[in-house]
Structure 1
Amino acid sequence: MGRLRRLILFFRRYYRNMGLRVVLYALSSLLAAFLGPLGAAWINDLLDIEMTFSSVLPVLTILASSMLAVSTFSLNIMVAAHRAAANATTPRVHRILLEDTTTQSVLAAFIGAFVYSLSSIILYRAGFYREEAALLVMGLTILVVLGVVFSLLRWISHLTTLGSVDESLRVAQARAEETLTEIARHPRHGARPLSDLTDWPDDAVKIPAPSSGFVQLVDIGQLHECIGASERLRIDVRAGMHVLEGAPVAEVTGSPSDDLVSSLSDAFTIGDTRSQDQDAEFGLTVLAESASRALSPGINDPGTAIQALCLLKSLLWHYARTEPDEDAELSDRVFAGFADPEHLVDAAFRSIARDGAGTIEVAKHLRRALAELAKCGDPSLEAAVRDMADLAMAYSKSAGLLDQELEELREINV
């Protein structure tokens, strides 16, 4: 049930792991060691080129020494840029920037080239490479060098924006949009809505959280496969919530064994930090915190707050207008809640309404944004937006704005 979506989610989660890409470079040198004797004769006859390792080793040595320096220097740049971005926006943006595929691809290419060249030298000195494999190794080395050159060009272009406020907000918006679109299309990730539960037994068995931390991922497919066809399971938490070890995160009917309870508990991925894989509110919170930080007295940058506000407006607008996937396969045994529009609106705008209440430019942009979202076509989101508009007006009244400024806000009809 939902195996393709689970595979895609797994790929998205680990594709951003730079170590995985470096391992692939190291494997290429091992493949050359094992496949070299098999294909060397055919390649040499096809190309009619004689080559020995005395020609290849200098290239590998230069590549290893230069890539070590480039990798170290690039990592220092990345750390400094992420620190600057965190200071300018919010510390939470650092976790999103770590998943930036451009930075990871470039650094993986540099580190991978170093690992490839070093491992190739070691394998040759250890006697794993035969002399006839020299042409194959040179071909792989040329491909690696071309990859490094291409990565250098990407890195130079990427450095012009890395660590800037604009780039940090753009990356945060892109990741948030990816998560919100997936949630809009699959609101409960394959589970049925709680409204489909007509009754629930009082003796249902509670499923404990495997550890304390934030709920990062709920594997609906694993839950579906673990319980029997006649049983039902109700999920009581959602991604982004903080739970304590042993606290109930779900309930299941029937008389499950201890092993089954343990398997059901393992379907909940708990971590020390929040993750955007299924957490609809995290990306919105990052942008909202960036706006609040810009509005602090020490920074006093309403322009950045307005920019973040516009991004939040766009995210919720597209979320509201994304149609759910009617053909998606739903579990007939697992039931869960979904992202509450009130929580989404609160995560996006409450802190801006509070911290920007005394700045008329921000207050007007916020009210205009809420007025536009009040026409999104989603009744529940529209109701949450109107409630937020009332709260924002109350904040502005208590923030000491002039009567004329308050009247300007009232003229924007939400």
Structure 2
Amino acid sequence: MSRWRWAAAKISKQLWARATFIGLLGITTAILAAVVERFIPWELPTTIGADAVDNILGIIASSMLAVTTFSLSVMISAYGSATSNVTPRATKLLIEDSVSQTVLSTFIGSFLFSIVGIIVLKTGMYGERGRFILFIVTIAVIALIVVSLLRWIDHLTRLGRVGETTQRVEDATLNALRAWREQPYLGGSPMLVDESFDRAVDIPADGIGYVQFIDMNALSKIAERLQGAIYIHSVPGAFVFPQTRLAQFLPDEAGDLNVEELQEEIRYTFALARERSFEQDPRFGLAVMSEIGSRALSSAINDPGTVIDVIGRMARLLCGWSRGYEESEPLYPRVHVPPLCNEDIFDDAFALIARDGAALVEVQIRLQKTLKALSTMGDETFRAAAKHQAELALARAEAALTLEADKQRVREIAGLS
């Protein structure tokens, strides 16, 4: 995916973009009804009075304004609930919810359609055919509003709930992990950790923030044009400072290069932002899931059941990840990307829960069962990471649990009794 497509995809997930598009569609539809009538040659079977259409449009306009205002207040309440009870990092997924955006945009579009229809109707631009077309379109808009309201009512029963929000985070993380499995190394070639070259050109960052996106296609074209290889050191999710090494360019043969121009060109392919994103950063999804579990263990919430649910979701995610990368030819062979470290993945997934739930035997039991199962899957590094995380969790439990019987139960599950 190019940077432009990535930026366009980000914009399309914004509420204002969808609302603007559907709003313009509503305005255009109302105006076209006055234009299209001249292209209808046949006589209509009935005559629609201006007052009939005007009354219907007035009802739609007044009701849609109220419904839109109410819907916005409900959405804001749901965002606040998710921020307080789940994690602020998950709120972004609620804001990007397609159902909420489509329904709200439909309400706004219907409101604008009605307002413009009333204005054009009052000016007398609609003839008999135009009023008939407007009436038919109005009936279709009413049907669309009814369907949207039914979807919205069903959606509101779940919006902002802990389980539903956690499911969104799990789905986003699953998509990111699946993308890494299907296109290992972001479609590039594997790179050894901390691999660097003395004669390579360093590409330093020029700002502070998280790497959100890397335009692999653009990097590949640069490497092809200049006949060299690009080694990425800051993958999506990395927090960089000015002069942090983003990448290195290693030419196939020594030659003259415009270093400043090369640095600027490669630097542009890295999108920095204040926050991490889920798309190319599966570790962020695991960290957010872990944060949900950690927050559920706080004294203000005190919900071990949510923690146990999160551990189960982690097991599903990592079970799929344990299958390893799918064998495929790299799409960008001249761009080298370091692998995701299994040790880091397990640390993101379980470290917070193991620390904050060390004194809860039910959490430790589920954690040890999960890690024990994961330690039988995947390759050697995956199994070693699971075993190491189980050892750390057991050590924390030994230090935090006060009852010897509870400690013994955890030891038995860990296989150390």
TM-score (structure 2 length as normaliser): 0.87
Counterpart Cα distance in 2 of 1:196 and 1:352: 28
Counterpart Cα distance in 2 of 1:193 and 1:385: 23
Q: Relative to structure 2, which stretch is displaced further, 275-284 or 182-191?
A: 182-191
Q: Relative to structure 2, which stretch is displaced further, 99-108 or 67-76?
A: 99-108
What corresponds to 2:295 in structure 1?
A: 293
Deviation digits for residues 286-325 of structure 1 (CA, Å, limit 9, x no counterpart) = 221111111123332211111111111111112223652x
Deviation digits for residues 181-221 of structure 1 (CA, Å, limit 9, x no counterpart) = 11221122211111499x85423222233532111111101
Counterpart Cα distance in 2 of 1:157 and 1:397: 46
Counterpart Cα distance in 2 of 1:82 and 1:393: 36
Q: Equivalent residues in 2 for 1:146-157 (5 A)?
A: 146-157=143-154
Q: Shift in Å at residue 379 of structure 1?
A: 2.7
What corresponds to 2:105 in structure 1?
A: 108
Residues 357, 392 of structure 1: 8 Å contact kept: yes
Counterpart Cα distance in 1 of 2:346 and 2:242: 29
Q: What SS is found at the alignment partner of 1:321?
A: coil
Q: State the one-letter code of the partner of 1:275.
A: S
Identity of matched residues, % = 33
Residues 110, 148 of structure 1: 8 Å contact kept: yes
Residues 44, 50 of structure 1: 8 Å contact kept: no
Counterpart Cα distance in 1 of 2:53 and 2:111: 15
Residues 34, 125 of structure 2: 8 Å contact kept: no
Provide closer, same or farther for how the CA distance between residues 137 and 343 of structure 1 changes in structure 2, counting only shifts above 3 A: farther
Residues 33, 128 of structure 1: 8 Å contact kept: no
What corresponds to 1:213 in structure 2?
A: 209
Residue 379 in structure 1 maps to residue 415 in structure 2: no
What corresponds to 1:238 in structure 2?
A: 235
Counterpart Cα distance in 2 of 1:279 and 1:47: 59
Counterpart Cα distance in 1 of 2:269 and 2:93: 24
Residue 203 in structure 1 maps to residue 199 in structure 2: yes
Counterpart Cα distance in 2 of 1:272 and 1:129: 51
Residue 368 in structure 1 maps to residue 363 in structure 2: no
Where in structure 1 are there 5+ consecutive unaligned residues?
Answer: none
Q: Shift in Å at residue 139 of structure 1?
A: 3.5
Q: Relative to structure 2, which stretch is displaced further, 383-392 or 128-137?
A: 128-137
Q: Alignment RMSD, CA only? A: 2.9
Counterpart Cα distance in 1 of 2:373 and 2:362: 17
What corresponds to 1:398 in structure 2?
A: 399
Q: What SS is found at the alignment partner of 2:333?
A: coil
Q: Equivalent residues in 2 for 1:187-336 (5 A)?
A: 187-195=184-192, 201-227=197-223, 228=225, 230-254=227-251, 255-256=257-258, 258-321=260-323, 324=326, 326-327=327-328, 329-336=330-337
Residue 388 in structure 1 maps to residue 389 in structure 2: yes
Residues 201, 259 of structure 2: 8 Å contact kept: no
Q: Relative to structure 2, which stretch is displaced further, 260-269 or 211-220?
A: 260-269
Provide closer, same or farther for how the CA distance between residues 349 and 196 of structure 1 changes in structure 2, counting only shifts above 3 A: closer
Q: What SS is found at the alignment partner of 2:299?
A: coil
Provide closer, same or farther for how the CA distance between residues 195 and 323 of structure 1 changes in structure 2, counting only shifts above 3 A: closer
Counterpart Cα distance in 1 of 2:125 and 2:202: 56
Q: Shift in Å at residue 38 of structure 1?
A: 6.2
Q: Relative to structure 2, which stretch is displaced further, 389-398 or 80-89?
A: 80-89
Q: What SS is found at the alignment partner of 1:211?
A: coil
Q: Equivalent residues in 2 for 1:33-48 (5 A)?
A: 36=33, 39-43=36-40, 45=42, 48=45
Q: What SS is found at the alignment partner of 2:186?
A: coil
- The number of residues matched between the two structures is 409
Provide closer, same or farther for how the CA distance between residues 167 and 230 of structure 1 changes in structure 2, counting only shifts above 3 A: same
Q: Relative to structure 2, which stretch is displaced further, 32-41 or 81-90?
A: 32-41
Q: Shift in Å at residue 34 of structure 1?
A: 7.0
Counterpart Cα distance in 2 of 1:53 and 1:229: 68
**Alignment counterpart, residue 91 of structure 1, candidates 81, 88, 91:** 88
Counterpart Cα distance in 2 of 1:144 and 1:265: 48
Q: What SS is found at the alignment partner of 1:395?
A: helix
Q: Shift in Å at residue 257 of structure 1?
A: 5.4
What corresponds to 2:173 in structure 1?
A: 176
Counterpart Cα distance in 2 of 1:287 and 1:15: 25
Q: What SS is found at the alignment partner of 1:333?
A: strand
Q: State the one-letter code of the partner of 1:379.
A: E
Provide closer, same or farther for how the CA distance between residues 355 and 200 of structure 1 changes in structure 2, counting only shifts above 3 A: closer
Residues 215, 271 of structure 1: 8 Å contact kept: yes
Residues 44, 135 of structure 1: 8 Å contact kept: no
Q: What SS is found at the alignment partner of 2:248?
A: strand
Provide closer, same or farther for how the CA distance between residues 208 and 53 of structure 1 changes in structure 2, counting only shifts above 3 A: farther
Q: State the one-letter code of the partner of 2:336.
A: F
Q: What SS is found at the alignment partner of 2:168?
A: helix
**Alignment counterpart, residue 20 of structure 1, candidates 11, 17, 24:** 17
Provide closer, same or farther for how the CA distance between residues 410 and 6 of structure 1 changes in structure 2, counting only shifts above 3 A: farther
Q: Shift in Å at residue 46 of structure 1?
A: 8.3
